[in-house]
Amino acid sequence: MSTPQRWEHEKFFGMVFALANGVPKKKKFFFMLGVAMVDDDGIIRAHNGEQTMKTADGNDKLGKGCIVVSRPVGDTCPSTCAFLNNGCYAEATERQYKNAREAGFHNVITEIARIRSMMIDAYKRGKSIRWHERGDWFLHGKLDETYVNNVSVACEAILHDGKELPDMWFYTHIYDPRLVKLGKYMAVYASVHNAEDLAAAKAAGFTLFAWCDSDQAIAPKRPRRKGPKRDAWSKALPTLTVLAGEKFVTCPEIRKGRDFVTCTGTKDSVACNMCVNGRKNVLFPCH
């Protein structure tokens, strides 16, 4: 652990000690910790009362049972990603909604306390966390080790207190063993597009895979408009397929439709939770 990380770790456990000794449970008590304030529940809040990690509630695809934490597309992605400036959904979202990119930049600078606060808050609200709906674990063209370490320390701090972590999951184009280690705390998926990607991810130690059928080898691209053509396309999708020696379950939300199933559920759809809990490899047909 680097010196700045050790200082932050020590500040955090000092905070825990203070909260555990003499702070009345029913009395709100705030004190300064860097750019944030800490209440007696151990929740870090910005000076204006907001959480200091920038998050958003789930959407029509992910469902409403999760929160989303994102980073800026491109700036935190490997430059080798074939989708950058070539049909990336997350990139299109940032172009359409300028606030989305701004929110992502908010999470480039990370702190253990901020990350811990986000996870505690998600657990208390009964929400899972979808890491990086937009963006990835890179910064300045290489793995953001400080970020990865901060996430690990925040998770360990929560477990050290005897508390539980929320369900969490992410997909990544970065095949690095240091990300595999996060599997201790969450479901870690390598996003792959072909057998070569799969082999590289396996070599790095990944055991869960999300196959993106960008080459349309499994099915043609989904028709844009709802109607008979899209219904026929959905019905023709395989439930299970074998690719490069691995079994993949076709994403139920894509195959059955978000009116019926979403990742974490809504009042009108059932929760899939397959990826949330890391139960199976998943196939994402081109859509």
Under-70 pLDDT residues of the chain: 1-52, 86-87
At 74 the pLDDT is: 87
Q: Is 125 within a domain?
A: no
pTM beyond 0.85, yes or no: no
Q: Is 91 within a domain?
A: no
At 6 the pLDDT is: 44
What are the b/e assignments for 183-205, b being 16+ CB within 10 Å?
eebbbbbbbbbbeebbeebbeeb
At 87 the pLDDT is: 64
Q: In sequence order, what are the beta bridge partners of 145?
A: none
At 52 the pLDDT is: 64
Q: Is 44 within a domain?
A: no
At 51 the pLDDT is: 54
By residue range, what is the domain housing residue 272?
Answer: 189-287
Read off the pLDDT of residues 97-142 as tens digits, 9 standing for 90 and up.
878 888 899 999 888 999 999 999 999 999 999 999 999 999 999 9
Instruction: Please state, in angstroms and rounded to a whole number, the distance separating the CA atoms of residues 128 and 110.
Output: 20
Residues for the chain: how many in total? 287
Q: Is 214 within a domain?
A: yes
Q: Please identify which residue in the block is written with the tokens 């929110």.
A: 103
Task: Count how many domains the chain has.
Answer: 1
List, edge to edge, every strand of the sheet that includes 44-46: 31-33, 36-38, 44-46
At 97 the pLDDT is: 80
Q: In sequence order, what are the beta bridge partners of 85?
A: none
At 13 the pLDDT is: 46
- Residue type (1 letter), 234: S
Q: Is 196 within a domain?
A: yes
At 162 the pLDDT is: 96
Q: In sequence order, what are the beta bridge partners of 69?
A: 131
Which parts of the chain fold into alpha helices (H)? 3-20, 89-96, 98-106, 112-124, 145-160, 177-180, 195-203, 228-236, 252-256
Read off the pLDDT of residues 133-182 as tens digits, 9 standing for 90 and up.
999 999 999 999 999 999 999 999 999 999 999 999 999 999 999 999 99
The C-alpha angle 151, 156, 157, rounded to 5 degrees, equals: 100
284 three-class SS: strand
Q: Is 132 within a domain?
A: no
Q: What is the CA radius of gyration of the chain?
A: 20
Continuous segment of H or E residues that includes residue 190: strand 187-192
Q: In sequence order, what are the beta bridge partners of 249?
A: 240, 282
Residue 39's Cβ-count burial label (10 Å; 0-12, 13-18, 19+) is middle
Q: Is 219 within a domain?
A: yes
At 185 the pLDDT is: 98
At 10 the pLDDT is: 44
DSSP 269: S
Q: Is 261 within a domain?
A: yes
